[in-house]
Amino acid sequence: MARVALVTGGSRGIGAAISKALKAAGYAVAANYAGNDDAANAFKAETGIPVYKWNVADYEECKAGAAQVEADLGPIDIVVANAGITRDAPFHKMTPEQWRQVIDTNLTGVFNTVHPVWPGMRERKFGRVVVISSVNGQKGQFAQVNYAATKAGDIGIVRSLAQEGARAGITANAVCPGYIATEMVMAVPEKVRESIIAQIPAGRLGEPEEIARCVAFLVSDDAGFINGSTISANGAQFFG
Ligand SMILES: NC(=O)c1ccc[n+]([C@@H]2O[C@H](COP(=O)([O-])OP(=O)(O)OC[C@H]3O[C@@H](n4cnc5c(N)ncnc54)[C@H](OP(=O)(O)O)[C@@H]3O)[C@@H](O)[C@H]2O)c1
């Protein structure tokens, strides 16, 4: 039977590319999303990948969501914690609400996503956890104190999970994308985007598929000895 992979935020952007790459690699994929039903339904129609709506910031929703996926597809062997948001502002203007929203979704959301499926992975002596961090978690970024804190936290999470899961056949790794051409990045003003591209030695944004290929490798049997690592995919923007 095909291994089951859950991808949070798997209906759009980088997550959609990850969902498609894992399906192409032979996994039974479930794509979670937050609330954009139109995008999720279009993704489902295009790919045949089932979509599941829940908020990764809510532990009980994550638990119920994972249980539903397992009832539909079987035990979850692979979890890709990809869902993430930005609420950018310079620190002196950042509101507690902007801080809290990003922490709840990007950091607590990883706990909420992995925690319900971890015991099953331990019991079955196999698991793959991949967390989508960011170059800005490695180097920090103006107006992203909240976001950079969560993305640096992702690296601490996988390094700790790696040590806890290694004996149980579970690996946990992070992928740190540089700037990728998704709606998140295309939404910034064109001038800002041009200044971002000017800082990338590759001279271009990355493609979501370039991140998806990193994930497909990390979840494969071939990557069983890679545990607690961070893959940077950023066009030589930063060596983290
Ligand atoms: N794009 C980049 O350049 C870049 C660079 C480095 C790291 N990253 C990271 O890569 C990940 C994906 O980014 P992206 O650019 O592909 O984002 P995106 O295009 O904005 O897509 C975000 C996805 O996450 C889902 N999502 C957001 N909040 C959620 C929540 N509370 N619960 C469940 N799902 C939620 C969205 O669902 P809906 O469709 O329902 O809204 C959507 O499927 C993020 O963690 C981001 O921080 C991105």
**79-121 residue pLDDT tens:** 999 999 999 999 999 999 999 999 999 999 999 999 999 999 9
Could you tell me which of 2, 213, 1, 4 has the C-alpha nearest to residue 127?
4
pLDDT over threshold 80, residue 184: no
What's the 167 CA to ligand 1 centre distance in angstroms?
Answer: 31
pLDDT digits (tens, 9 = 90+) for 57-71: 999 999 999 999 999
Q: Whose CA is nearest to atom 46 of ligand 1?
A: 84
9: tokens are 């935020």
The whole-number pLDDT of residue 225 equals 98
The neighbouring-strand residues paired with 131 are 81, 174
Considering the four listed CATH numbers 3.40.50.150, 1.10.1040.10, 3.40.250.10, 3.40.50.720, the one that applies to the domain covering 4-180+209-230 is 3.40.50.720
Opening angle at CA 158, ends 14 and 71, nearest 5? 65
pTM, two decimals, is 0.98
List the catalytic residue out of 27, 33, 52, 147: 147
All structural domains of the chain with their residue ranges: 4-180+209-230
The whole-number pLDDT of residue 188 equals 85
Checking DSSP bridges between strand 28-33 and strand 170-177, what pairing results, if any? unpaired
CA 149, chain centre distance (Å) = 15
What is residue 100's three-state secondary structure? helix
